Amino acid sequence: MSAEPILEARGLSKTFRAGGAVFGKPFQAVKDVSLAVMPGETLAVVGESGCGKSTLARMLVGLETPDEGEILFRGAPIKRDRALRRQVQMVFQDPYLSLNPRRTVLDIVAEPLDVHGLAKGAARTARVEELLTAVGLDPAASSRFPHEFSGGQRQRIGIARALAAEPSVLVCDEPVSALDVSVQAQVVNLLIDLQKRLGIAIIFIAHDLAVVRAISHRVMVMYLGRAVEEGGADRVLVTPNHPYTVALRGSALEPDPARARLARGKATRGEPPNPVNPPPGCRFNPRCPRVTDECRTNEPQMKRHTDAAGLSGVACYHPVQEAEALSA
């Protein structure tokens, strides 16, 4: 991996209005989030619903405009530069809603080629067939319609479309959460395989820690619009420092009865609060077992340092140490 990030986001914030653009109450979906992903690296962005991970993903591909902050591709601001935009493509969560039911697979996968004027006629068809083969589908599929495919196959079509413009970065928003376990593994392996072959960087938005563990090199955890912890997948998922990451880890159930039964009676209290009215101080403080007065008044900032796995950091006044995390 080279030392220069391929895609970088600096201090991104996005505010929406709940219940109408004019009279609705503003809430910050994403607040001052920075990230960097290296070529060929997978960075997972993890968190529960409403944490801002999808909004972050949509800003990275240009589907939302950030209110503050900037997005850099190889150090250059992306803004409205179409040539740079092409380098960052998205795979959507729902393989049923994200493919136009009235278009053939050929036209769906070729759309980025058409939009960016990359191939026409026979070259266009050949490129689509090559892409379909690359994602493990029969090239003959190109004349068929989305409804003729299973969920896993549709997600392969979505991945083929995202790859059509030869991007350097793939932003995948919960790409496997709508799929059955057995099929989920096919798609995860396909992404890992494509990354090895094409050297693309992947930003993988997910809520399932086990899936994240299988695919990612580094992990960033979000809670209520803020990044609370970041680091190598091993460190963040196995020995988390932020009490919220510890709670997520403790709630994740694995197919191992002895281990899963340990979670009985240990649920973290409360639910993520309303983003319209985030609590003052650390946003996790009302649910945190380690809360002190400082947490209720001052918002902790993420202090990053570089370790063997890249950037690492935690936004917490009382981070959990390794030994405690293991016994929790």
Nearest to 203, CA basis, from 74, 64, 42, 2: 42
Burial of 291 (0-12, 13-18, 19+ CB in 10 A): middle
Q: How far is the CB of 28 from other proteins (least distance, A)?
A: 19
Residue 295-324 contact track with other proteins, rule CB under 8 A, x = bound: ------------------------------
Using rule CB under 8 A, residue 290 touches other proteins: no
Residue 279: CB minimum distance to other proteins, A:
15
Question: Of 43, 45, 200, 237, which one interacts with other proteins (CB under 8 A)?
Answer: 237
Under 8 Å between Cβ of 81 and 70? no
For other proteins, the binding residues in 4-63 under the rule CB under 8 A are 48-49
Measure the N-to-C terminal CA separation of the chain; round to a whole number of Å. Answer: 35
Stretch that binds other proteins, among 8-16, 33-41, 116-124, 258-266 (CB under 8 A): 258-266
According to CB under 8 A, which residues from 101 to 160 bind other proteins? Answer: 150, 152-153
Name 86's Cβ contacts closer than 8 Å, sequence gap at least 6: 112, 116, 165, 166, 167
With CB under 8 A, what is the number of residues at the site for other proteins? 48
The yes or no reply on residue 277 touching other proteins (CB under 8 A) is no
Among 22, 83, 122, 181, binds other proteins (CB under 8 A): 181
Scanning 6-63, the segments in alpha helix (DSSP H) are 53-61
Q: Which stretch binds other proteins (CB under 8 A): 16-24, 93-101, 182-190, 297-305?
A: 182-190
CA distance 150 to 156: 10
Tell me: does residue 326 bind other proteins (CB under 8 A): no
Q: Does 256 bind other proteins (CB under 8 A)?
A: yes
Selected from 6, 248, 288, 314, the binder of other proteins by CB under 8 A is 248
Site string for other proteins, 76-105 (x = CB under 8 A): ------------------------------
Q: Which of 65, 100, 133, 189 binds other proteins (CB under 8 A)?
A: 189
Q: Please, what is the Cα angle at 220 between 34 and 43, to 5 degrees?
A: 90
CB of 166 to other proteins, least distance (A): 26
Q: Contact at 8 Å (CB) between 143 and 67?
A: no
What is 210-272 written as a DSSP string? HHHHHH-SEEEEEETTEEEEEEEHHHHHHS--SHHHHHHHHH---S-HHHHHTTTT-PPPS-P
Buried b (16+ CB within 10 A) or exposed e, 254-280: eeeeeeeeeeeeeebeeebbebeebbe
Using CB under 8 A, list all residues that contact other proteins. Answer: 48-49, 150, 152-153, 180-186, 188-189, 192, 207-211, 213-214, 233, 237-238, 247-257, 259-261, 263-269, 271-272
